[in-house]
A and B are shown apart, each in its own frame.
Chain A
């Protein structure tokens, strides 16, 4: 099973809402990632968790709050977002966090902030 699942598929939220994105993998991977992708652009790394510890935060605004409750789950908590945060949010995982490990991507959550 090489699948990374993400829920929900689509999310529309107002600027005052609080919502969460969920990502799950059952491949035994110990590295998990959040990316943000705007239309017609490459993915931009937001966060990396390695062995359930936050390893990289790419200077992401505090209105995005990641959480890794266990080795299979990754959440992204959203609060007080701006319209410019509308994008496709991709989760990925790899066996471990190295420069050569293949990353497996989920289908993404398409977020619209009104």
Chain B
């Protein structure tokens, strides 16, 4: 069975500082990996996803994530935080070997301090 964990339910960064949101998965076969963002009172929006190929994935709004098989990780980064980045971020996985639903992590709430 697959699972996904996100270290830190809440992360605070200063405006202009590096954003690092952690995601680790548990799966016998490395899964497909996603990061979604949810702004207040909105639905989720895909930031980026890794399915195959290059392990460094670039997404929207300046975010990127790197798939590291040896560490079973898919951490999300952004070099310089903006106030508009304050939101809830969900890492998610889906199986490569069976037809199944996307499993979301518990989420990390990002605050950006001016």
The distance from the CB of A41 to the nearest CB of chain B, in whole angstroms, is 7
Select the stretch in B63-71, B74-82, B93-101 that faces chain A. B93-101
| Of the residues A4, A41, A103, contact of B102 by C-beta under 8 Å | A103
Query: Closest approach, in angstroms, between the C-beta of B62 and any C-beta of chain A?
Result: 19
How far is B41's CA from A4's CA once the two chains are assembled, in angstroms?
Answer: 15
Identify B43's interface contact among A40, A58, A98, A105, CB under 8 A: A105
B90 contacts A102, C-beta separation under 8 Å: no
Q: Are A107 and B43 in contact (CB under 8 A)?
A: yes
Residues of B within 8 A of A11 (CB): none
CB distance A106 to B105 under 8 Å? Answer: no
B45 CB within 8 Å of chain A: yes
By a beta-carbon cutoff of 8 Å, the part of chain B in contact with chain A is 32, 41-46, 49, 51, 90, 94-96, 99-102, 104-107, 109
* Chain A residues at the B interface, C-beta cutoff of 8 Å: 4, 40-43, 45, 48, 56, 58, 90, 92, 98-100, 102-108
